[in-house]
Amino acid sequence: MNPPRLTDTTLRDGSHAMKHRFTSEQVRAIVTALDEAGVPVIEVSHGDGLGGSSIQYGFSLEPELDLIAEATRTARRARIAVLLLPGIGTKDLLERAAELGVRVARIATQCTEADISEQHFGIAKKLGLEAVGFLMMAHIRPPEVLVEQAKLMESYGADCVYIVDSAGAMLPPDVKARVSALKEALSIQVGFHAHNNLGAAIGNTLAALEAGADQVDGSLRGLGAGAGNAATEVLAAGLDKLGLNPGLDVFRLMDAAEYVVAPLMPYQPVPDRDSLTIGYAGVYSTFLLHAKHVASRFGLDARDILVELGRRQAVAGQEDWIVDVAVDLVEQEAGQRHAS
């Protein structure tokens, strides 16, 4: 294993847990703490990436570009990154972010849809940005399919491609198989982004490093969607004990988590009943509330709906399947009662 490059996503993935209510003052405090602790890349944007502030995904308290500008003004050593999802983020927003001093564009697609990202990688490279690809919901496809998708991103100009455990559904063997496959097939770097729905975010990140991952993600106090991410401070401590510290100040990160981020958190992300269900089912956390509402209407357990959605490999944008699944489950129950 080699020391990885760490990207902290507190100010992007953590935006979900904060209901996109970060302020410029909070951005300044968090970026300062991460920068002083030696974190080399800090991701800042709406939880759903550039342009995510909307009625569909939740409005930001302050304009997203204002938060990004605050981050680039504050950072002395760290580079600021943004996330862009094709179909949400736009060319104009990426260009504006680059003008504000962003240096890394992380371009995310569903793990079967890398082909929609070609123009976005092209724009990022034209702007002189480092371009990182995200294959989201990577647990729903086997390694050989992910290799095909990662190769597309590589051909578009990606400098690194991430295996992204969006639903927190993976365990270490799943991570190793996928990261290893990309490492063998690509000539660029490979990264891994964990969620903690099964309580395995740190273990999965270490498994990714054992498989050769070059880049990994964390967030202070694990602040992120679902059960949160691999906690940056915990990951830093683990890397240090393994002799793989890439230059992180472990104590400063502990203090940043405890005294900067914890006081502003609305709750501590943990694998509670709901987030554990998401990881077990293997679906996005965005399905949860809708599934609960539909389950109440149909007299079902929301967990049964979510598990069936996972079996059908539902991804974001397919929330309309929830009612169909509920109807199917009710009909199955009726059929079983009739048969008995």
Residue 152: CATH number of its domain: 3.20.20.70
Residues 245, 321, single domain; the answer is no
Whether 340 shows a pLDDT value over 80: the answer reads no
Q: 144 and 250 in one domain? A: yes
Instruction: Tell me: do 37 and 98 sit in the same domain.
Output: yes
Yes or no: say if 165 and 194 are a contact pair by the CB < 8 Å rule. yes
Same domain, 176 and 223: yes
Q: Scan for tokens 């992007």, then name that residue.
A: 12
Find out whether 103 is annotated in a ligand binding site.
Answer: no
pLDDT at residue 316 tops 80? no
8 annotated binding-site participant: no
Are 12 and 128 found together in one domain?
Answer: yes
Q: What one-letter code names the amino acid at 314? A: A
Identity at 310, one-letter amino acid code:
G
The overall average pLDDT reported for the chain is: 95
- How many whole angstroms separate alpha carbon 129 and alpha carbon 278? 34
Q: Are residues 214 and 320 in the same domain?
A: no
Please count the structural domains in the chain.
2
Which CATH number characterizes residue 300's domain? Answer: 1.10.8.60
Strand blocks (E) in 18-114? 41-44, 79-84, 104-110
The verdict on residue 278 lying in a domain is: no
Same domain, 85 and 158: yes
Q: Can you tell me whether residue 38 is helix, strand or coil? A: coil
Average pLDDT rounded to a whole number, residues 285-300: 90
Residue 276 placed within a domain: no
- CA proximity to 220, closest of 205, 235, 231, 206: 231
d(CA 130, CA 71): 17
Among the listed ranges 177-181, 256-260, 263-267, 336-340, which one has the minimum average pLDDT value? 336-340
Domain match, 182 and 292 both: no
Residues 175 and 231 in one domain: yes
SS3 218: strand
Binding residue per annotation — 195? yes
Query: Is 60 marked as a binding-site residue?
Result: no
Average pLDDT over residues 208-213: 98
293 is catalytic: no
Dihedral sign of CA atoms 257, 259, 265, 267 in order:
positive
Beta bridge partners, 215, equal 5, 191
120 known ligand binder: no
Residues 78 and 148 in one domain: yes
Residue 231: the pLDDT is 98
For the residues 40-58, what does the mean pLDDT come to? Answer: 92
Given the residues 16, 20, 46, 290, select the one marked as catalytic.
Answer: 16
- Residues sharing a CB contact under 8 Å with residue 56, sequence separation 6 or more, in sequence order: none
Residue 42: which residues within 8 A CB-CB, separation 6 or more? 7, 8, 10, 11, 31, 34, 35, 71, 75, 78, 79, 80, 81
Q: CA torsion angle for 68, 69, 73, 77 (degrees, to 10)? A: 30
What pLDDT does residue 311 have? 92
What average pLDDT does the segment 128-142 reach? 97
pLDDT at 62 over 90: yes
Average pLDDT over residues 126-152: 97
Supply the DSSP symbol for 57.
T
Q: Residue 1 pLDDT more than 90? A: no
Residue 35 · residue 253 · CB < 8 Å: no
274 in any annotated domain: no
3-state SS of the chain: helix, strand, coil percent to 5? Answer: 50, 15, 35
Q: Residue 337: is its pLDDT beyond 80?
A: no
Give residue 289's domain range.
283-339
Using the predicted structure, report yes or no on whether residue 215 has a pLDDT greater than 80. yes
pLDDT tens for each residue of 257-284: 999 999 999 999 999 999 999 999 999 8
Give mean pLDDT, residues 31-40. 98
211 shares a domain with 162: yes
Tell which wins on pLDDT, 284 or 18.
Answer: 18
